[in-house]
Structure 1
Amino acid sequence: MPQPSLSILIPAKDEAGNLTQLLDEIDAALSDEAYEILVVDDGSTDTTWTLLSQRAASDVRLRPLRHMRSAGQSTSLWQAAWAARGTWLATLDGDGQNDPADLPRLYDKARQEGITLVNGHRVLRRDTWFTKFSSRVANRVRSTLLKDDTPDTGCGLKVIRRDAFLALPYFDHMHRFIPALILAQGGRCVSVPVNHRPRGAGKSHYGLNNRLWVGLVDIIGVMWLRRRSRLPAPLESEASKALEHDTSGLHTKEHP
């Protein structure tokens, strides 16, 4: 298998009914790319691990990881990112609501110069009214307090430079604040409209309580982190100054 340039990270808890189709769609969408897929079974009680193990036996691009007890989405993504081998990371939810057909477009956008994170924006949500309401409230509160200039931080579909992700501070629920954390470190974020689909099987693990009320404590923590951050802080050395001087001489030297 060639060295992958893109690593797909998928946290999955009790998603056996959705993963087969999702993995097939990723394969179809990225047929021209060198990629790998890391699925983290986050303490599932269904047949998720059996499905992943059987599929990995015939697909070298699939690298299943497992938590015997659920550790949460942020921990799953953070550990998978450290295990990944690609220069770029793409994240998707394991419920199949993110459309892998959007991946090539986000990946192409991400590789433009100066972009650190491309965040999906679910313009037309395919959720229950209560899920849409709770997500809208949580996004409004986050946007107002953090000013992260991102309309849909909760969208699981993202493409981000791996080195930038690994430089972020780790804490539980950090995945909800990736745009704000990237901006605090001097990165550039853009949002792109993406498709959103109804959940195929299983049920959502999120509601108003763990989207907003629990998140308020995290928002205060992120606000503190941003106030205390001194990044980016360009660092010079004598060697870099000498190199800059030599390079500038190349441009000013006159030739007969």
Structure 2
Amino acid sequence: MSDNWFTVEEIDSTTFAISEYGHWEKVHSFLLIGTERAALIDTGLGIDNIKRITDQLTDLPIVVITTHVHADHIGGHGLYETIIVHHLEEDWLLNGIKGLPLEQIRKDIGRDITKPTPREFDPNTYKPFTGKPTALVSDGDIIDLGDRLISIFHTPGHSPGHICILDNDREYLFTGDLLYTDTPIYAFYPTTEPVALVDSLERISFLQVQRVFGSHNTLGLDPNILFEVQDAVYELRRRDVVRHGTGIHTFKSISIQF
């Protein structure tokens, strides 16, 4: 599929990554297609219309599952009717993140862009999506797409209501901003909690999966990275650095900034 802004990559015949490589955050959203409906994990930056892409990939009803309510993951939420978010971030989706200035969001959304953007996009007038979610999820919830079950894991730390999503049938783990490579995993943002983030990393590290998909940078990680996560968790605790202000801690494939 050719598109000026989005890059679409087939993971398998019913699973697609929709990526925004022209922005410095290199954000990935993921479309999982069942027999009755499809799930769109996050909706990207909102610089361009992601629904234009999903309409070409499926004509099934789409439910948007939000890993967390940061601007780069909810940009296209207003294009869809069904939006799911963890209950701890419902207020953020309704009212925005308290303490995060709109000027900072606009600065981040508009910098270091390397591909042409739509004429309608203006970082100076950009506003993050706000609105009422259709439904709320909690840890352990299961969503049935029709012959495809996905499980919700509450994995706080990067944000209070951050979730990871496990595709049970294919053993794909979608980790949002809890785990990715190439740039630091952020736990120094004003609403983060380092101890919770490390606990969440430890929790997912014991899952048996076929592939891991973070929401930024490299698309698709070898599941052996979870063994590295286990070692990193142990080392961070041993060194007593799991708190704000201790800087960037680098391991073989991942780094974490507190």
TM-score band (shorter)? under 0.3
Q: Find the structure with the greater CA-based Rg.
A: 1
Using the size of structure 1 for normalisation, the TM-score is 0.28
- Hey, which of these two has a bigger chunk of helix by percent? 1
Q: Which structure: greater strand fraction?
A: 2
Which gives a bigger RCO, structure 1 or 2 (Cα 8 Å, sep 6+)?
A: 1
